Structure 1
Amino acid sequence: MAKPGQIPAEPDREPRAQAAALPWRRDAGGALEVLLITSRETRRWVIPKGWPIKGLKAPKTAAREALEEAGVEGAVAKKIGVYHYDKRLSSGRLQKVRVGVYPLKVETERENWDEAHQRVRRWTSPQEAAELVHEPELAELLRGFAPE
């Protein structure tokens, strides 16, 4: 139990929604690659994601996050699934988050983008990406990812 004035560590009950892009491409040999980025604070491997943006539907939000966080642009497809995680807010509280995942076929990869100095990008196979991420449901989505 939290002491008076202390923020409880247990997560909020209702999950909040985020939208994520799963950037992908084919290499010169036709093999499927997905793009992971590092998170800003923990440096874990993640996919670009964010909170809803006023005036944008979830697929457009996912595309915007891909541009801002990973410097990639392309065509967004229908949602392929969801995963859940607990986000630690600046207050110290844990917030349950439900993330909708939208494949993004990368058409442009920028050398410079908004968060280039805060993140590292890594193109890899979906199977290797599944081993690198910490969220089991995201890993499962990556293992089964087969666009087109």
Structure 2
Amino acid sequence: MKTKRRQQFGALPFRKNRETVDVLLVTSRDTGRWVIPKGWPMRGKRPHRAAGIEAFEEAGVVGKPGKKPIGQYDYDKRVPGGAVPCRVVVFPLPVDELTEEWPEMEQRHREWHAADRAADLVAEPELQELLRTIQTLL
């Protein structure tokens, strides 16, 4: 029996350099592994807006998220007593500014990485592939 995946919306905060794209990764609160900002749908908010709000809360990112997703990936969210299968729809988010303070700053770290390096740091294969092809998507 297949379990239905729960929908989440994620932001891929990025900045373009001359030859590369850098992405901003954050650590998860539970295990400290590298992830992109993401969260559950928000009532009254369009998916790209919800992704932008998550990016601010989790990483202090200020910018305008793109309305069109650039990809998606599946993962299992760890919760007490097990895991919830999730599908994350990813929206591009060019970073205009990083705030010095943000809501989850005591719970997470953030770091810029070249997209190829970021792909090596995240665990999810579909997110790795998205990061490796990001220059062609933006």
1:50-89 aligned within 5 A? 50-77=39-66, 78-89=68-79
CA displacement 1:63-89 (0-9 Å, x = unmatched): 000000000011211201110001122
Q: Does 1:43 align with 2:32?
A: yes
Q: Between Structure 1 and Structure 2, how many residues are aligned? A: 136
Alignment-derived partner of residue 16 in structure 2: 26
TM-score (norm 2): 0.93
Secondary structure in structure 2 of the residue aligned to 1:76? coil
Q: Distance in 1 between matches of 2:108 and 2:134?
A: 24
> Rg larger in 1 or in 2?
1
Q: Which runs of 5+ in 1 are unaligned?
A: 1-11
Runs of 4+ in 1 over 6 A off after TM superposition: none
Q: Does 1:145 align with 2:134?
A: yes
TM-score (norm 1): 0.87
Alignment-derived partner of residue 4 in structure 1: none
CA displacement 1:28-84 (0-9 Å, x = unmatched): x56321000000110000000000111111100000000000000112112011100
Instruction: Quote the sequence identity (%).
Output: 49
Q: Which has the higher helix share?
A: 2
- In structure 2, which of residues 69, 83, 88 is the aligned counterpart of residue 99 of structure 1? 88
Secondary structure in structure 2 of the residue aligned to 1:75? coil
- In structure 1, which of residues 111, 124, 132 is the aligned counterpart of residue 100 of structure 2? 111
RMSD (Å), alpha carbons: 1.6
Q: Does 1:13 align with 2:3?
A: yes
Q: Distance in 1 between matches of 2:91 and 2:122?
A: 17
Q: Distance in 2 between matches of 1:143 and 1:41?
A: 26
Q: Distance in 2 between matches of 1:84 and 1:26?
A: 26
